[in-house]
């Protein structure tokens, strides 16, 4: 499907955010269950049986379309041309939804540095997508 209108910065950020949410909701690989059992867990305490403990709520699995859009977002990393710091800044801020301060602590740089890297990376993706869509349209 061809895109007629140019990509915007807000669209790119929301797609990265959706991809981060999709990755969080994917089921974890548990590996081989060598000594596992197919039986349910045994109730060890009567309070566990009647709901006195905190409920564990699992996130729902992502839809197949959300997974496809996540793969599309992962293909956008080609626009970074090997700039790993910019790529990590975009993923931490836009994909994982971290604040600039939290992402700066994670990467060991200042808040201004992470903000400039993240926005420069988003602009790089916007430019790359808009260039590739105009080439495909011609």
Half-sphere exposure of 4 (CA within 13 A, CB side): 0
Does 39 map to a domain? no
Residue 68 lies in a domain: yes
The answer, yes or no, to whether residue 1 has pLDDT greater than 90, is: no
Residue 12 to residue 120: CA distance in whole angstroms: 12
Cα angle: 34, vertex 36, 39; to 5 degrees: 150
CA–CA distance, 120 with 43 (Å, rounded to integer): 53
Q: What are the pLDDT digits (tens) for 53-85?
A: 677 778 899 999 999 999 999 999 999 998 999
pTM above 0.75, yes or no: yes
Assigned domain for 89 exists: yes
What confidence tier does 33 reach under pLDDT thresholds 50, 70, 90? Answer: low
Q: What is the pLDDT of residue 34?
A: 59
Does residue 42 sit within a domain? Answer: no
Angle at 102 between CA 127 and CA 83, to 5 degrees: 35
Q: What Å distances lie between residue 28 and 41, 48, 53, 137, CA to CA?
A: 20, 25, 24, 40
Mean pLDDT in the chain? 86
Residue 30 lies in a domain: no
In a domain, 54, yes or no: no
In a domain? residue 90: yes
Whether the pLDDT of residue 100 is over 90: the answer is yes
Give domain status of residue 3, yes or no: no
Domain ranges, residue 130 = 9-23+60-137
Total domains present in the chain: 1
Give me 107's structure tokens: 């990467």
Residue, of 92 and 54, whose pLDDT is higher: 92
């Amino acid at each position: 499907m061809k895109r007629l209108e140019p990509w915007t910065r807000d669209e790119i950020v929301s797609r990265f955010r959706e991809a981060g949410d999709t990755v969080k909701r994917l089921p974890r690989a548990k590996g081989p269950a060598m000594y596992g059992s197919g039986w349910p867990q045994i109730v060890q305490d009567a309070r566990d049986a009647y709901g006195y403990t905190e409920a564990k709520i699992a996130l729902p699995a992502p839809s197949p379309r959300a997974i496809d859009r996540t793969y599309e977002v992962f293909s956008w990393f080609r626009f970074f041309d090997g700039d790993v710091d910019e790529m990590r800044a975009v993923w931490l801020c836009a994909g994982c939804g971290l604040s600039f301060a939290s992402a700066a602590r994670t990467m060991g740089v200042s808040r201004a540095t992470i903000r400039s890297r993240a926005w420069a990376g988003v602009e790089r993706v916007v430019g790359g997508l808009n260039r590739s869509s105009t080439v495909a349209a011609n």
